[in-house]
Structure 1
Amino acid sequence: MDKLKSVFSGDSEQENKTIVTQISDATTLSWSTRIKGFLVCFVLGAGLSILGSCLLFVPKNGIIIFAVLYTVGNILALLSTCFLMGPVNQVKKMFAKTRAIATVLVFVMLILTLVCAFAVKINALTIVCCILQFLALTWYSLSYIPFARDFIIKCFGACLD
C-alpha cells in the first residue's frame, strides 16, 4: 500500500531508483512463495510424467502422448528448482564444470525422446529414450548430492567385479 501511495503522491524516492532496482524489487519473491512455486511446479511435473505413463497403452497415439507428457513433466520438475535458487543461478549451476556433461545429456535425451515419438515413430526406441531420459535426469540430480555419483559408480563397480 505504501508503494501505491508513493506513486500517487509523487514521492521522489521512487524516482531516484534505477530501472534495474525497480525490476528487481518487482520480481523478488518471498521464501514462502518460492516454496509454493517449487512445490506446484514439481508436483505438476511429476503428475504429468505419471499421467503420461498411464496413457502409454492408449491405442494409436499412446506412445506420442506418453513421450510428450513424460518429457514436459520432466522439464517442469527441472524448472521447479528455479523457484528455489532463481533462474540465473540455476543456469550457472547447471553448466558448472561438475555437471555440464550431465546437463547436456539431459537436454539431448529430452529432444531425442520427442524426435523418436514424432519423427522416427518407433515405439520401442521412444521407450528406450524415455528410460535414458530418466537415467540422465537421475545422474544430473545426483550431482547436487555430495559424493553421490562416486558412491553409485563404486556400487556398480563392485557389482561388476
Structure 2
Amino acid sequence: MSQITRRRFVGSGMTIVALASLPRARAQAMAPSLGYPATRIGSLGTLKEGVGQYFAYPDDAAQGLLLKLGKPAIGGLGKERDIVAFSAACTHMGCGVAYKGERLQCPCHYSMFDPAKNGQVYQGLASSYLPQIPLRIDAAGDIYAVAVEGLIWGRARNILSKGA
C-alpha cells in the first residue's frame, strides 16, 4: 500500500478546486433546460435601463426579473447586448432578489449577484449563480423567455439530468 505524500495530497486538492471552478457555461451545457414554452415577458418599448421588471416564468409559481443593464452582459440581447433575465429566487434560501446599484441583491442574507456575468454570486451565503433565463426578441420588439439555465431554488427538477 503506498503512502500519500503531502505534495500529492495538496496537488489533488488543487485539482479538485480547479475542476469545481470551471466556467458556468460548461456546467450549463451538461444540464440543459427543460422544454418550457416561449412566453412573452415584456417589450423593448417599455423596458427602462436600471429598472427591473418582474414576470412569471416558467410557470406562475416562479418569478423572474427582466433587466436592461446599460452595459454588455453575458447572454445579453438587444442593440447593446444588455438585456438579460434571471430567476428572482436567491439560490441560498429562495428569498426574492431585487436589482439595486448594478447588482441583484437578496435582502434576507445579503447575497449579491452580478447580472452582467451570468448572475455570478460574489458576496453572501449563496453558493451558486442565479439561474439565467435565455431570451428572444422578435421583429416587433417583444421579449420572450425561452428556457431556464440552472436549477430554480426549491425545485427538485427544472433541468434535465444526464440520461433523462
TM range (shorter): under 0.3
The structure number with the bigger radius of gyration is 1
Q: In proportion to residue count, which structure has more strand?
A: 2
Q: Which has the higher contact order (CA 8 A, sep 6+)?
A: 2
TM-score relative to the length of structure 2: 0.24
TM-score relative to the length of structure 1: 0.24
